[in-house]
Structure 1
Amino acid sequence: MAKLVVLKVGEGSFEQGFPVTMQIGEEGDAPAIQTLGKLPPAPEIPQYYNCWQSAYLCLGWSTRLEAKPVQVTNVSVIEDCWHAVQVLRNRLNSWIHSESFRAIREKWLEKLLPSDELRVILQTEDLLLQRLPWHFCDLFERYPKAELAFSAPAYERVKQISQTKDKVNILAILGDSTGIDTQADRALFEQLPGATVQFLVEPQRQELNNQLWSQGWDILFFAGHSSSLVDADGRICINRTDSLSISDLRYALKTAVAHGLKLAIFNSCDGLGLARELANLYIPQVIVMREPVPDKVAQEFLKNFLYAFAGGQPFYLSVREARERLQGLEDEYPCASWLPVIYQNPAETPPLWSALSRPVSVNTSGNNHSRQRSLKKIGSQHLRRMLLTSVLVTSVTWGLQQLGAFQPLELKVFDQLMRLRPQEATDPRLLVVAITEEDFKLPEQKNRTGSISDLALARLLEKLEQYQPRAIGLDIYREDPVNPQLKNLAQYMQQSDRFIAVCKINEPTASEDPSVAPPPEVPEARQGFSDVVLDPDGILRRYLVAVNPHPASICSAPYAFSTQLTFRYLAAEGIFPQWTPQGHLQLGNVILPRLQPHTGGYQTIDTAGFQMLLNYRSYRSPENIANKVTLTDVLRNRIRPDDVRNRIVLIGVTAPSVGDYFATPYSTSKGAYQKMAGVFVHAQMVSQMLSAVKNQRPSLWVLPQGSELLWVWGWSIVGSVLAWRYRSVLHLELALAITLIVLYALCFALFAYQSCWVPFVPSTLALIATSASIVVQNASQKQGQSTKLYAESN
């Protein structure tokens, strides 16, 4: 889409400088960017311009300024003209490179690409600023699809009434032709396809006035002599004896504008004065020659402009192409390519040639009703297309979702949402006894064969028991029997109803991660498996509550280590596990749902056994999950009885050398210390189940499949509505960006405060894909719809 750049030059002078405001926006939309700057004092520029103009006028060509014989121009005069051009050009570029103008220049280069189609409007009342060759500035030369126009600071849009027609209506005035060939201009219009041309050859004032009043003209053309030098307002010579100012035709021209006049072309000399007067009548577009123009140059410009414009080129690009093609004449007519200039009413948008024959509105009630019916029909068609597109995009997106195409991305979003959740307090029901690297150096550990010796374990359990914990869990593998010398330890492990030990299930045939047997002294009822389920990317996001072990497994515990500890804790309060008919776990009044296939972002995982999503407490350090002490702290009596009484105590290794660490949503790529020790993973699991039962902390849950589909479809519809509402690409991109922020915020709010995991990635894809599809459809069908609409209006 084309962009519009408006440079508003405030009151000033070349002696004092000019304040400048630049606005940039998409065509047809309000400006999105505004930047302030200043052109500094440059009193020499008027002198350089006057030097160039004097050299140009000395060339002596026969122009449409006045009738006079052709003079012979010598080479030195032409060289003087080109030298004056170069001096003026260099000074003009230096002016816009000044420090006070830098902000505008840099913002221009930042926001506008050389490939952009640009309409640049310079708003100023200063006549000399309008006469300067701004197209020589490097800001314009690097943009091949940009063209400059001038406008007055004051403007307004005139409500126009168009008439039914199928061709472009042109009123061509061929004025005083003394010394020039206006018949060449006539021949160009006679060959113009798709146009109806009314010629007025050297008309009388009354005849011209009547024609301007008579019907709706799209284009007004004048060829002949004109001038702005004698009269600042500009005059045109309509015949050999009469000349008129624009004010002499004021009412006729205002009527012509009201009846649909879009463009006035004055292919005559020194037309800026004419343009300024025409701007006061709010004519949408005017083309004039800013200096005296040779006859051949005027004819060549008209031919190239009509060829490009009637051929479908945008109005501004047609002017630029026709103007630049005049460079081929500059060996004979220096500076020909900078004579044509546009004077623009900023309230209007330049039309295409094809649109000039289509009425904007019709002054009959019957046609208005027909147009309204057409608009309603097109609106309903657009609504159906929006709904159909959203359904198709949602279907494709949902199919890819079911195939697991978005699972890796969705799990990354899950991790990010988990990390962003508010910090939660430490669970007061848990105590972790961590065995650190320093604990390996204790005297009690001198005979250890693993992470803890029998002697250290015996003394640890003895210390803990005297404080009456509700359950003790040993998250350390012990396949060998207790040292015969420590009979009390073996007896404790056999008889204590609150001691839970771990083993590892896995398949008996697994060679990389084989099963691990439980301690031989601990009965099966107090054994719990330590197995966890990692996602394909190695991150722990779900956990096993219960399984049916393989019959040949040396670990036959049906419940997880964390599950056994939870059951022991709740049993003291009369809460025992039950299983619902749907296979969910019920503890008291709380039902813990099992993970099903196609849950949230999970689409291609094995949900065998009873699995749940792991609803981590916000994790920044181990102490944020449960209170922690070390083995040394306990053995050296550095803990208080209240730290242990009625709590679940988990004993595990946190020493990095053992490597019992897991990647979690909180992990980074910085190493093992950013991962979570296995004993704290089990503490997370215990805390989750206890908090659900005792504190009504919700477990993570997902919407039913049908509701998730409606959620994705809803965002697809939002995308189609945005594409319908914002036709500007820049505004649509901004709206999509804001909508994506809202979508992410909703996903986070639901996740953080309702524990609901809703799909973000497929929703995002549906939103963007639907919006892009609607934009493409609008672009491809816009022309056809417009033709049909106007055809029905007629």
Structure 2
Amino acid sequence: MKRYYDPWRKRIGKLLKALQGRPVALVVLFGLSLLNLTSEWPSDIPRPAFVDTLDDALPDSFKTARQLLFDQYQRHYKRIPATQPVTIVEIDEETLASVGQWPWPRNRLAGLIDAIAAYKPLAIGLDIYMPEPDQTSPDRVADNLPKTAAALAAGLRALPSHDAILAGSLRAAPSILGAAALDHAAFATRTTLRSALVLVHGADPLDHVRRFEYVLASLPELQAAAHGQALLSVALEQGVVRHIPLVMGLGDRLVPSLPMEMLRVATGSAALEVYADSSGVQAVGVADVQVPTQPGGDIWLHFASIRSTLGRYVSARDILQGKVDADRIRDKLVLVGLTGAGVTDMRTTPLGELVPGIEIQAQVIETIFEGRFLRRPTWLKWAESGFIMTFGLLIVWYVPRKRSRLAEFIRAVPKGVAMLGLSLHLLNLLCCFYIFMHFGFLIDAAAIFIILSAVMGCFLSPALLHQQEQARAEAALAQRPPADKNGAGKAPEA
């Protein structure tokens, strides 16, 4: 094994020592920088085919480290809610035990909406979709009666259906229905949705936003009665919700998310506005509110801990029984969703918390009200790349110089270079975290650390190899027998 290992070690050593290691360091610098860009390709330039090939060959090369770093930013600096514009009416276990198991007959859901609307909220968003007719409606029950109960069946058919009752409640309240976006056809899916107008200012952003071909929405009768329709999709990355789309594509149309549609209904606006250029969506607005977005029409959400938002939850049972303080509903944006065990759509946040899906929608609205957005614009990626290239080239030019102050420092304090490197990287991390705290920009300190450390390692490796060679030479010399006066080795005794 040693016979095969030594030649390769010598070749690698010669390669690292060639021109004091600068060629290898340049290859590492440019190669890792390209790989970093590939993992998060800037939207302002076309994506070449080789980038897709490289991304497929080395998936998540820098993306995972970047995501974990941004999660740590949030865990060490959680958003503290300053306002509470949202109230969540939860259909919790107490409600299900009191009112009945889910799904409810829709006249019962209509009663809940009527009870909420009586408190005069600004908007009521339902994180619920109903694609099929209610099978408990009187006409459906009549269809299952025997012929001998013809009179009873006729009486039941004369009653309004539960869907019609719910439609009346939706029409009377400032209601918004949610719908699930799907990439594939399934039972009861459609290709269209009765959504509000979306006005585009600038270039068409449809190719940049997340697009779907199918939607699982409520019945057309319910859609026609509601004051708005919205998609409930969230973006998952390795099972964690970090991005929230504010606008999405359904076929060849732009469709709003639930938070933006609720703001549109609450402000009485006729349309949602999207501001875009050739690189994608720049902002999504409604009334006098503009939310800066990523080119894909999504935002990085700065999460608050679920422990700090529990005060926004109200049990649907208390609403139905009239036991709720009116101020918790009046002039609020109300979200209605399921939180009972077994019926809840649970999601993991960057804080490591498992929360109901309706909580994420509430945090988006809360963030928009507070105007505290996390941002990672395209220019920031270029700035990071420029920083990495500048300091990488500075390392390549300066570190190998034998008469520099750094070289003298390394010779004087061999272990000091490691402490110096760690100190600089710690300073880099602290600066990026400070910018996150005060300005909301997400700077990828992980890529800076990985690439510059690798470049620096190209110059430290030859020194380590040289030390190993010296150690082996000294060990070999120590094992040689002592020489006699004539320079010949002393023969071993018999």
Same fold by TM-score, threshold 0.5 exceeded? yes
Residue 81 of structure 2 corresponds to 425
Matching of residue 579 in structure 1 with residue 274 in structure 2: yes
Taking the aligned partners of 1:739 and 1:750, their CA distance within structure 2 comes to: 17
Q: What residue number does 1:492 align with?
A: 169
Q: 2:179–2:216: 8 Å Cα contact kept in structure 1?
A: yes
Aligned: 1:542 with 2:228:
no
Contact 1:702 1:758 survives alignment (8 Å): no
In the alignment, what sits opposite 2:155? none
Q: Deviation at 1:679?
A: 0.6
* Matched letter for residue 509 of structure 1: A
Partner in structure 2 of residue 567 of structure 1: 264
One of 234, 237, 251 as aligned partner of 1:532 = 234
Q: Distance in 1 between the 2:108 and 2:387 partners?
A: 56
Candidates 382, 392, 411, aligned match of 1:706: 382
What residue is the counterpart of 1:438 in the other structure?
94
Matched letter for residue 414 of structure 1: F
Residues 140-289 of structure 1 mapped to structure 2, 5 A cutoff: none
The 3-state SS of whatever aligns with 1:440 is: helix
Letter in 1 for 2:435: L
Q: Does 1:473 align with 2:125?
A: yes
Answer yes or no: is 1:689 the counterpart of 2:386.
no
Aligned counterpart in structure 1 of residue 305 of structure 2, from 619, 633, 640 = 619
2: distance between equivalents of 1:629 and 1:561?
20
Normalised to the residue count of structure 1, the TM-score between the two structures is 0.42
Match in the other structure for 1:771: 456
Structure 2 distance, partners of 1:577, 1:390, is 50
Q: Is the Cα–Cα contact under 8 Å of residues 84 and 366 in structure 2 kept in the other structure? A: no
- CA 1:566/1:746 → structure 2, altered by over 3 Å: closer, same or farther? same
| Contact 2:93-2:340 at 8 Å conserved across structures | yes
By percentage of residues, which structure has more helix? 2
Give the Cα separation in 1 of the matches to 2:421 and 2:94. Answer: 55
8 Å CA contact retained: 1:703, 1:757 = no
- CA deviation string 1:486-545 (max 9, x = no partner): 55532121353x10011112134358x98422243222761111122212x121111222
Please name the residue that 2:291 is paired with. Answer: 592
State which of 301, 325, 340 in structure 2 corresponds to 1:655. Answer: 340
Distance 1:427 1:779, change over 3 A: same
Equivalent residue for 2:109?
Answer: 457
**1:558 match: secondary structure:** strand
Q: Runs of 5+ in structure 1 lacking a partner?
A: 1-383, 597-606, 668-673, 783-794
Return the alpha-carbon distance in structure 2 between the equivalents of residues 757 and 471 of structure 1: 32
The alpha carbon displacement at 1:419 in A equals 1.3
CA distance in 2, matches of 1:525, 1:557: 17
Does the CA contact (< 8 Å) of 1:617 and 1:625 recur in 2? no
- Which amino acid counterpart does residue 465 of structure 1 have in structure 2? A
CA deviations on 1:655-705 (whole Å, 9 max, x unpaired) are 2311411122122xxxxxx4121111111222233333xxxx234224514
Query: What secondary structure, in the 3-state scheme, does the structure 1 residue paired with 2:223 have?
Result: coil
Q: Give the Cα separation in 1 of the matches to 2:461 and 2:102.
A: 70
Aligned to 2:321: 636
Query: SS where residue 66 of structure 2 aligns?
Result: helix
Answer yes or no: is the 8 Å Cα contact 1:547–1:558 preserved in 2. Answer: yes
Structure 2 unaligned residues grouped into runs of 5+? 1-18, 40-60, 138-159, 190-213, 401-405, 468-494
Give, in whole Å, the separation in 2 of the partners of 1:761 and 1:472: 42
| Partner Cα separation in structure 2 for residue 590 and residue 778 of structure 1 | 58
Q: 1:424 to 1:467 in 2, by over 3 A?
A: same
Partner of 1:169: none
**TM-score scaled by structure 2?**
0.65
1:740 and 2:425 matched: yes
Match status 1:517 vs 2:217: yes
- Give the CA RMSD over aligned residues: 3.5
Distance 1:684 1:722 in 2: 48
Which one has a bigger Cα radius of gyration?
A: 1
What amino acid is aligned across from residue 89 of structure 2 in structure 1?
A: V
User: Is the CA contact (8 Å cut-off) linking 1:703 and 1:756 kept in structure 2?
Assistant: no
**Deviation digits for residues 49-78 of structure 1, max 9, x if unmatched?**
xxxxxxxxxxxxxxxxxxxxxxxxxxxxxx
> Of 406, 410, 429, which aligns to 2:62?
406
What is the Cα deviation at residue 779 of structure 1? 7.3
Alpha-carbon distance between aligned partners in 2 of 1:479 and 1:719, rounded to the nearest angstrom: 62
Aligned to 1:678: 357
Q: Distance in 2 between matches of 1:546 and 1:686?
A: 14
CA distance in 1, matches of 2:222, 2:270: 27
Give the C-alpha shift of residue 594 in structure 1.
Answer: 4.0
Q: Which letter maps to 1:531? A: S
1:426, 1:627 within 8 Å by CA — same for their partners in 2? no
Cα deviation for residue 410 of structure 1 reads: 1.3
* Higher RCO structure, 1 or 2 (CA under 8 Å, sep 6+): 2
AA matched with 2:439: Q
Q: Quick check: 2:240–2:348 contact (8 Å CA) kept in 1?
A: yes
Residues 505 and 515 in structure 1, CA contact (< 8 A), matched pair in contact too: yes
- Residue type at the aligned position of 1:708: E
Q: Are the aligned partners of 2:300 and 2:373 in contact in 1 as well (CA < 8 Å)?
A: no
Name the CA shift for 1:739/1:616 in 2 (closer, same or farther; >3 Å).
same
Q: Which amino acid aligns with 2:383?
A: S
Change (3 A) 1:581 1:437: closer
SS at match of 1:542: strand
1:33-48 map, 5 Å? none
**Equivalent pair of 2:78/2:302 in contact (CA under 8 Å):** no
1:563 partner amino acid: M
Q: Which residue of 1 aligns with 2:29?
A: 394
> 2:303 touches 2:351 (CA, 8 Å); kept in 1?
no
Matches within 5 A, 1:285-296: none
1:431-489 superposed Cα distances (whole Å, 9 cap, x missing partner): 011111221111xx33x551x44344223222221221100011112224464365553
Instruction: Map Cα deviations across residues 183-229 of structure 1 (whole Å, 9 max, x no partner).
Output: xxxxxxxxxxxxxxxxxxxxxxxxxxxxxxxxxxxxxxxxxxxxxxx
Would you say the 8 A contact 2:177–2:223 is kept in 1?
yes
| Aligned equivalents of 2:129, 2:386: Cα separation in 1 | 48
- Give the direction of change, closer, same or farther, for the CA distance of 1:625–1:418 in structure 2 (3 Å limit): farther
Query: Counterpart of 2:327 in 1: which secondary structure?
Result: helix
1:17-41: CA deviations, max 9, x gaps? Answer: xxxxxxxxxxxxxxxxxxxxxxxxx
Secondary structure of the corresponding residue to residue 772 of structure 1:
helix
Q: CA–CA distance in 2 between the matches of 1:526 and 1:566? A: 10
Which residue number corresponds to residue 16 of structure 2?
Answer: none
Over 3 Å counting, the alpha-carbon distance change for 1:557 and 1:759 in structure 2 is closer
Identity %: 17
> For 1:543 and 1:587, how far apart are their aligned partners in 2?
17
